[in-house]
Amino acid sequence: MLGNTRLQKNTPKPKMVKRKRKLSHEGKWGLLMVSPYLIHFIVFIAFTLLASLYFSFSRYDMLNAPQWIGLENYNKLINDPVFWKSLWNTVYFTVLFVPAQTILALILAVALNQSLKGLKFYRIAHFIPVISSWTVVLYVADAIFNPRFGLANDLLVKLGSEPKQWLNDEALVIPVLVAVAVWKGIGYMMVIFLAGLQNVPEDLYEAAEVEGAGVLKKFRHVTIPLISGTTFLVLVLSTITTFQAFEQIYVMTGNSGDITAAGGPNNASMVLMLYLFQQGFAFLKMGYASAIAWVLFLILFVITLIQVKMQKKWVHYEK
Amino acid sequence: MNQRKVMKLWFAFMTVFALFLAGCTDESSGNGGDDSEATEITLGFYSSGSADEKMQELIDKFEEQHPDIKIKTQNAPYSQFFQKLDTQIAGGTAPDVWLSDGVFVQKYAERGAAKDLTEWIDQDLNKDDYYGLDFNKGPNGKYWAVPQGIQIATLFYNKDMFDEAGVDYPDESWTWEDLKEAGAKLTVDTSGKTANESGFKSNSVNQYGLTFFSITEGWMTVLKSYGGGILDESLQESIIDSPENKEAMEYIVDGMDRGIFTDPSDLQAFQSAMSPFPSETAAMRIGIYARVLAANETGVNYDVTVLPKGPTGERFSPVIANSWIINNDASDAKAKAAWEWVKYWVSEDDVQKEWAELGEAVPVKKSVAQSDMFLNSGDKPANKQAFLESFDFAGTLDVNAVWSEWVKKTGDNFNRAFLKEASIEEALERADKEVQKVLDEFYENQ
């Protein structure tokens, strides 16, 4: 607001003054209207962000005042095998999860974009896990992956192989977690895809048909390019959510909700958010936890930047 | 113009909003003028259901007896309570007196959040009258908290299962080897074979001899009764990599290997690691006093006895003294009022009795714990005396300021040995190094 007023005074051309005045008037109203959010942002987000940046350079146990230690936390991070393992696990989780969820959600959306009988039922059925809390989803997951009573082991035994310790096996724990996460998240991405699909103009399909394109060709040359904007959104959203995965892993791998027990076996399912939470709230190493948070932020920032840069190569926007 | 008025109104609104935000952070404004003499203190506790009501009753009685003190309460379920408490301490808004899990007392004490109560305890409490005062003492001999209720472990056993298997009930003569022998007869696989029969399948157990869980109700008891342990007396040095611990670990791993004890992956199958005993999937458990609640709720026919002896006849029973801590930042007046509350809690027979009725913990006051009301209440277990006898060989879980952190390091490594992903030697060696690192990092900066 202030900036604009000053501009008014300094602008020499009368015509421009008129335009500026109008803009600044609208600008004022705009600022006014967003002020509740702005105040909220400054008080609850910007301030806390800066505080956590400061803490990341301090030794801070929450019970005593933070003590500036420079880069020590970051140094420790670099030499902390559990940090690297949790970073690796996070990346592994993302690499499995994002393509799986995106492709399956797209297939599902295409399938449910037809005129089927009971269409609503199917759409709702896939959306139920999305709105259910993790606790509910995990009960269902437990019915499948419980080593003693679960469906998955029943099946394995019937097929003649040995039962598996799904969540206690270092090699299996992340894929199992990903499978459950895909199941929970797929409905949401499906809905986004459905919206994208319904924006594809019918006449393009008709034109393609006239050219003699079959179902697959139409999908490849019409659907995919036209929903690439939606796909991009889905990719960015999924990546961010997996980097922030916490609750699921906390509940599924922690014994009886014990935060310090989560992330096993042998840290095989320790992800960055969980590690951050443990260090900060269970072990009172808030400075160290803040350093992890900032590293996490930087990684996400870079990934999103790359995704945005790459979108020029494949995302198609209609003019 | 009209728009100007709207703008002004809007600004007024935003100012109020901002003031409201500012107001949120500062809840402790002075109280009204009516009872200017009264000291208001804030009392924080973690809790659930019936305990809340009882606590409120006791608070009401306290206020009647102490018209000059007013108590404001703050409570939350266990895990949220401590998260909130830590942030409150950080922000300088913590309660004046709060209930701490026994394993967290040193965390607050060594970081300067708890008030040193040594003088007041020396002055006002006769130490011989109470259980557990010494469990809150730091290595320097100072008292940081006063117990609210005591958790101490005994061996729980399911009488019906023992009868069915034709095995004699455990008693004070038992060693850990006796327990394993009996446990083998009580461990049954899906085809009905017991662990000492040939053809028994240890990977499809239907009923376990002993359920074994994490530190308190798992390995610490065995390690210590074998002469081992985790930390030395200074609580700053790891003693994990010792021959005694190795022997104890061999005993445990063998039991798990044979399917007699639950291993960590068996426990994953139950919704809660606490559930095998009350759900009658395990014939025995190492259990703290609070476990009688779940066992009584499900109606298990059980009793308790003291925990078994190690190979040299040594016994160990882990203790957690959940305690009242007074905020180190509290003003003199508030700290004194808080002390009145603590004294009221531990020394009044009525209070101790009423709280004991909830059946959550062994009463702090010996006279109440040894009374008929506690020992012969009619509820199971019949042999409540075993909890009191266990004080003779009780000890803490080597609790210090970084307890949660070293327990995690130890537990992770022990679990790998339990699951046979690492040898016992490897696990002990690695745990020793990692725990020492945690200790050094903390104590070097103190």
Using CA coordinates, name the residue in chain B closest to A67: B445
Judge whether B261 and B211 are in contact, CB under 8 Å: yes
- Residue A256: predicted pLDDT: 61
What separation in angstroms does the CA of B377 have from each of A231, B120, B359?
A: 67, 34, 10
Evaluated on CA atoms A272, B268, B279, B181, the torsion sign reads: negative
- Residue B6: predicted pLDDT: 58
State whether residue B432 is helix, strand or coil.
Answer: helix
Query: Is cis: bond before A265, omega within 30 of 0?
Result: yes
Say whether pLDDT at A246 is over 70. Answer: yes
Say whether pLDDT at A266 is over 80. Answer: yes
Q: What is the interface size between A and B, counted as CB pairs within 8 Å? A: 90
Which amino acid would we find at residue B18? A
Q: Looking at residues B192-200, what average pLDDT do you find? A: 91
For residue A240, which of A175, A302, A316, A311 has the smallest C-alpha distance?
A302
The pTM score is: 0.84
Instruction: Give me the residue from B79, B108, B412 closest to A264, CB to CB.
Output: B412
- Residue A135: pLDDT band (50, 70, 90) is confident
Comparing B96-105, B232-241, B371-380, the range with the smallest average pLDDT is B371-380
Say whether pLDDT at B270 is over 90. Answer: no
Give per-residue pLDDT as tens, A21-63: 556 778 888 888 888 888 988 888 899 899 999 999 999 988 8
Say whether pLDDT at B255 is over 90. Answer: yes
Is B230 exposed, middle or buried, given 0-12, 13-18 or 19+ CB atoms closer than 10 A? buried
Q: Which of A39, A42, A54, A63 to mutate to test the interface with B (most CBs of B within 10 A)?
A: A63
Say whether pLDDT at A317 is over 80. Answer: no
B408 touches chain A (CB under 8 A): yes
- Residue B1: pLDDT band (50, 70, 90) is very low
What separation in angstroms does the CA of A125 have from each of A179, A189, A198, A234, B388?
A: 17, 14, 20, 20, 56
Residues of A in contact with B14 (CB under 8 A): 35-36, 39
Comparing A227-236, B146-155, B177-186, the range with the smallest average pLDDT is A227-236
Give per-residue pLDDT as tens, B286-316: 999 999 999 999 999 999 999 999 999 999 9
Decide if B411 and A261 are in contact by the 8 Å CB cutoff. yes
B282 touches chain A (CB under 8 A): no
A99: closest CA of chain B, how far (Å) = 29
Using CA coordinates, name the residue in chain A closest to B203: A163
B265 touches chain A (CB under 8 A): yes
Residues of B in contact with A283 (CB under 8 A): 402, 404-405, 408
Window 52-71 of A, Cβ < 8 Å to B: 59, 61-64
Tokens of A68: 């500036």
B44: closest CA of chain A, how far (Å) = 16
Question: What separation, in Å, do the N-terminal and C-terminal C-alpha atoms of chain B show?
Answer: 65
SS (H, E, C) B66-117: CCCEEEEEEEECHHHHHHHHHHHHHHCCCCCEEEECHHHHHHHHHCCCECCC
Residues of B in contact with A141 (CB under 8 A): none
- Residue B15: pLDDT band (50, 70, 90) is low
Check residues B272 and A31 and name the one with the higher pLDDT: A31
Q: Which of A283, A286, A288, A290 to mutate to test the interface with B (most CBs of B within 10 A)?
A: A283
Say whether pLDDT at A191 is over 70. Answer: yes
What separation in angstroms does the CA of B145 have from each of A63, A258, B133?
A: 17, 25, 8
Is B278 exposed, middle or buried, given 0-12, 13-18 or 19+ CB atoms closer than 10 A? buried
Say whether pLDDT at A146 is over 90. Answer: no
Decide if B408 and A278 are in contact by the 8 Å CB cutoff. yes
